[in-house]
Amino acid sequence: MKNYALITGASEGIGKALALECARQGWSVLLVALPNEKLEQAALEIHQLFPTVQVATLGIDLTLTTAPRAVYEWVVKNDFKVNVLINNAGVGYAGVFEEYATPEFFDVLINLNIRATTQLTRLLLPVLRKQPKSYILNVSSLGAFQPVPYQTVYGGTKAFVYYFSRSLREELRGTGVSVSVVCPGGTNTNEVNRARNQDLKPLAKLSISEPAYVAAVAVRGLLRGQEVIVPGRMNRWVLFLSAFVPMRVRIRMAGGALKPRGSYGIQYAGKLEDRRIGEWED
């Protein structure tokens, strides 16, 4: 009987890297992402690299309020034995809160980063409990540990994911369902994000990782039952040292490092939009 790992936002970036890493572990994979050619390309790549691994895809926009239940019904209808749930799908931005985007955009961001993660976890938890051992991995951010100027709403959503994950882990202690949260620093998830990362100050650039590295560290930590996973020695060192720096100073330092300096064309939800500063997908 095949066990499945379900990964959201699995068509590129960290999500695709996590799907590849799960396949490397021998799990069959369920790829959930926006319905476009990148999703099918990711499925084909996994099948070619790991021919014995079963791959299924569901193209869906997780910002829609009906989407989490549709994912759940797809799992139940096909009797997929899911024992790994990875909530990775997310969108970020870099810009001045009042000037950058419309209220509607922030609704999309909150729906994807918070609501989809919460609803999918709640709906699929009974499925996970049916397996002798199951795992939940939620993708947060290094920005969850402090306020993040110029990523105000994004940082807030990732702080939610961090605290949600740790609280749920305690509730599920002893049930056979292990919950972990991974908190990457800056990651080159796509060309937009890579360009944005190039505009960071030199010290901030030292924390940038590639998706494959983040995924390998995350899955290794997941299997070890690690509660909080922070990929990258530099990121762990910065996190340790930050405990000795007053919060006001940390906020100003973050604002100085993350203040946007570029303009990018961004790809989100299947259409190309022009903004002074780019969004990126996790």
pLDDT per residue over 33-45, tens digit each? 999 999 999 999 9
Quick one: residue 246, left, alpha or beta (phi over 0 = left, psi -120 to 50 = alpha)? beta
Report the C-alpha gap between 46 and 24 in whole angstroms. Answer: 9
Q: What is the mean pLDDT of the chain?
A: 86
pLDDT digits (tens, 9 = 90+) for 245-277: 888 888 887 777 777 665 443 333 333 333 333
| Total count of domains within the chain | 1
**154 is known as an active-site residue:** yes
Q: Among 3, 85, 23, 87, which Cα is nearest to 216's? A: 23
pTM (2 d.p.): 0.86
For residue 191, give the CATH number of its domain. 3.40.50.720
**Options 154, 162, 264, 268, the catalytic residue:** 154
pLDDT digits (tens, 9 = 90+) for 4-30: 999 999 999 999 999 999 999 999 999
Low-confidence winner among 163-177, 218-232, 252-266 (lowest mean pLDDT) = 252-266
31, 42 in Cβ contact below 8 A? yes
**pLDDT at position 151, please?**
87
**pLDDT at position 96, please?**
84
Low-confidence winner among 23-32, 197-206, 273-282 (lowest mean pLDDT) = 273-282
Non-local (6+) Cβ contacts of 276 within 8 A are 95, 100, 260, 263
97, 48 in Cβ contact below 8 A? no
Q: Which two tokens stand for residue 165?
A: 């994950």
Domain span at residue 230 reads: 4-281
pLDDT digits (tens, 9 = 90+) for 107-143: 999 999 999 999 999 999 999 999 999 999 999 999 8
**pLDDT at position 205, please?**
57
